[in-house]
């Protein structure tokens, strides 16, 4: 739905004030997009998985550290899966990793439920 002239003027005024009050925020917002944000989160999830796997290797030291490592690995894998889906989203032009993640995520998702039929 397009904005009318009054709404467009209000939006331009808000943009102008924001650029005057916080130019660093404006620069950061114009520099990043959804894909950049998702890729940064994906890197954190991968790092969490690596840290969790290292903690899991400490099972000889403490079972509790190993259990915490397993939980960290599981949570990181779930987050990486979610962010991989965002990287492969159709609204974003996916790179090679996003296309691969989209294919993998499509295979792992359950098929859509069939609508109930009225046949008797």
pLDDT tens per residue, range 61-105: 999 999 999 999 999 999 888 888 777 654 444 455 555 655 655
What b-and-e string marks burial along 93-113, b requiring 16 or more CB atoms within 10 Å of the CB? ebeeebeebbeebeeeeeeee
Is residue 114 very low, low, confident or very high in pLDDT (cuts 50, 70, 90)?
A: low
Q: What is the pLDDT of residue 96?
A: 55
Cβ-proximal residues to 58 (8 Å cutoff; 6+ apart), any chain = 65, 66, 69
Q: What is the pLDDT of residue 85?
A: 76
Task: Give dist(CA 35, CA 94) in Å, integer.
Answer: 8
Task: Give dist(CA 15, CA 21) in Å, integer.
Answer: 10
Q: What is the pLDDT of residue 99?
A: 59
- The pTM (predicted TM-score) of the whole model is 0.52
Higher pLDDT, 8 or 68: 68
- Rounded mean pLDDT, 46-65: 92
**Is residue 98 within 8 Å of 104, Cβ to Cβ?**
no
State the chain's mean pLDDT as an integer. Answer: 78
Give me the sign of the Cα torsion angle 97, 102, 105, 106: negative
């Amino acid at each position: 739905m397009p904005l009318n002239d009054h709404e467009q003027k209000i939006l331009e005024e808000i943009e102008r004030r924001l650029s005057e009050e916080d130019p660093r925020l404006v620069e950061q917002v114009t520099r990043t997009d959804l894909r950049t944000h998702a890729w940064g989160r994906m890197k954190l999830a991968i790092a969490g998985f690596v840290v969790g796997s290292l903690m899991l290797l400490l099972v000889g030291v403490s079972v509790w550290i190993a259990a915490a490592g397993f939980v960290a690995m599981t949570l990181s894998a779930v987050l990486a899966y979610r962010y991989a889906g965002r990287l492969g989203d159709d609204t974003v032009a996916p790179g090679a990793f996003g296309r691969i993640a989209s294919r993998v995520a499509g295979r792992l998702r359950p098929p859509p439920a069939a609508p109930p039929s009225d046949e008797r």
